[in-house]
Amino acid sequence: MRSRFAPDSRLVRRMLVTILLLGLLYAAFVAALIAAGVGAAVAAVALAAVLVTLHLMSDRLVLSAMGAREVTPEQEPELHALVDRLCALADLPKPRVAISPAAEPNAFAAGHTSRNAALCVTQGLLDRLDQRELEGVLAHEVSHLAHRDVALSTAVSVFSTVAGLLSGLALFLGLGGRRRALVPLGLLAALASGVVYLISLVLTRALSRYRELAADRGGALLTQRPSALASALGKIDAAAADGPRVTNALMFAGQRLPDLLDTHPPIPRRQEQLRWLATELGS
């Protein structure tokens, strides 16, 4: 069965530009730390440790943080049937299916390969949405998997994690044993780490907002029902007024933050795109 997910050239360009800028930023940062006295071997070990941890445990860490449990087709036949249908339409391997007991309506995809991919929904989402709306949200998450958005989020987060780790190591190792220079150089390392983190945060959040719009488009095209996803967004936005949103770029609905730091576009912006798409599809 041919996938309905068409290549998104704009998404690919934004991904490449963001990764290039982050690569240059962190290369300069690591070079500065090495020049200050942190050995190249230490930097390489730190990078390898973070990469291995994220590769082996990223999906389990995210699911564990949400208190999610995997469910079988026998336990949740309707949920599995929706995922089966969407994966067949998208011509994608079926991910593991999990449910979090959180009352907040939300969903996310975890894992950065087809072997460890998981799709999780919260109990709050299941309680509030009808079947068509739930299918729209699941299609959005399947779109993330199809575009390898989870792998991208993991990749761009590696650099900021390593930057913070190397800054801490610089302090711990005394920057090559030069104890008299430890305090000023340590402060400079901490300052550089903060600047690098802030710049990377702005870059990655900008990419995240575009990825969410791309996933909305992909999911709506997969189901051919943009209005169902728009309706789900409305219900989720209304429920969010009762409490804070979960802070996670992989979540279906993000938190309300200043525009530069928000992981998701405003819901009215997402609904506007879906209404335009519904007009194009005549649905």
**Residues belonging to the active site:** 141
What is the helix (H) or strand (E) element at residue 122, kind and residue range?
strand 118-122
Q: Is the dihedral of CA 150, 152, 156, 161 positive or negative?
A: positive
Contact criterion met (CB below 8 Å) for 175 and 39: no
Neighbour count for residue 75 (Cβ, 10 Å): 12
Strands 118-122 and 96-100, by their bridges, are parallel
Contact criterion met (CB below 8 Å) for 131 and 79: no
Neighbour count for residue 54 (Cβ, 10 Å): 17
DSSP 228-268: HHHHHHHHHHHHHTTSPPP--TTBSS-----GGG-SS--HH
Neighbour count for residue 169 (Cβ, 10 Å): 18
